[in-house]
Amino acid sequence: MKRNALALVALAALVFSIPAIAGNSLIAPGERKKVAKSDLSITPTTEWNRLDERPGRRAETWTLDGDALNDVTFYGGIEPDRPLFAEVDKRNQPLPRVSATMLITDIPLLFETSYRVAFGTSLMTIDSVEPAVFAGHKGVRFTYSFVRQDEDVHRRGEARAAMIEGALYMITYEAPTLHYFDRSLAAFRQLADSARF
């Protein structure tokens, strides 16, 4: 009798958790995929999970092990006067906006400021910035580190970005510094290297 009750509880937990993950989808390796409601496409060489929840209107997130452990976010042509993320408190804490006249060297600062406002963290640094090619265009590669508010986990990140026809295209990767960042860095770099229009 006790075993049946436990089985029913486990079954109920499974049934009620399905809607929460129902929108997530598996991305198979080897197929070119358009990302972030844009013409930017990538070709993964390993299996990824695309999360249903989007950080912004023209953004999407993929993960290998769960977004708390590693995530790659694609930003697909963020137009001028738009923020990277959905606004949380536009009146009191507006997010910075993309500008059509931004230089590629302005992108890391826009990203850092956006994180500080959106995630309420003062523990955010841009660690390195260098020129790079992204999706066949002159762009920037930068690394960063941060700790989210109400969390003690130190995270590292790497990004590649370019301003293309006045809009911002970017791919970011982040994971906890301990173990996960180094473990999935090569998989991120493969995605970034495959980016095309």
pLDDT the model gives residue 104? 94
pLDDT the model gives residue 122? 83
pLDDT the model gives residue 22? 52
pLDDT band at 88 (very low <50, low <70, confident <90, very high): confident
3-state secondary structure of 60: strand
pLDDT the model gives residue 115? 92
Q: How crowded is the C-beta side of 53, counted as CA atoms within 13 Å?
A: 10
pTM score of the predicted model: 0.86
Beta strand segments in 71-154, E = 71-78, 124-134, 137-146
Judge whether residue 16 has pLDDT over 80: no
DSSP 68: T
Query: What does the pLDDT look like over 123-182, one tens digit per residue?
Result: 999 999 999 999 999 999 999 999 988 888 999 999 999 999 999 999 999 999 999 999
Query: What does the pLDDT look like over 17-74, one tens digit per residue?
Result: 333 445 799 999 999 999 999 999 999 999 999 999 999 889 999 999 998 999 999 9
Which parts of 68-169 fold into alpha helices (H)?
107-118
Q: Name the maximum alpha-carbon separation found in the chain.
A: 69
Judge whether residue 13 has pLDDT over 60: no
18 vs 104, higher pLDDT: 104
**Which helix H or strand E contains 189, and what residues bound it?**
helix 180-193
State which amino acid sits at residue 136: G
Separation of alpha carbons 136 and 168, rounded Å: 14
Judge whether residue 2 has pLDDT over 50: no
Helix, strand, coil percentages, rounded to 5, for the chain? 25, 35, 40
Judge whether residue 117 has pLDDT over 60: yes
**Which helix H or strand E contains 21, and what residues bound it?**
helix 2-21
Cross-strand pairs, 131: 140
CATH architecture of 26-193: 3-Layer(aba) Sandwich (3.40)
pLDDT the model gives residue 84? 95
Residue from 134, 170, 180, 142 nearest 158 by CA? 142
pLDDT the model gives residue 8? 36
Separation of alpha carbons 130 and 140, rounded Å: 6
Separation of alpha carbons 181 and 41, rounded Å: 23
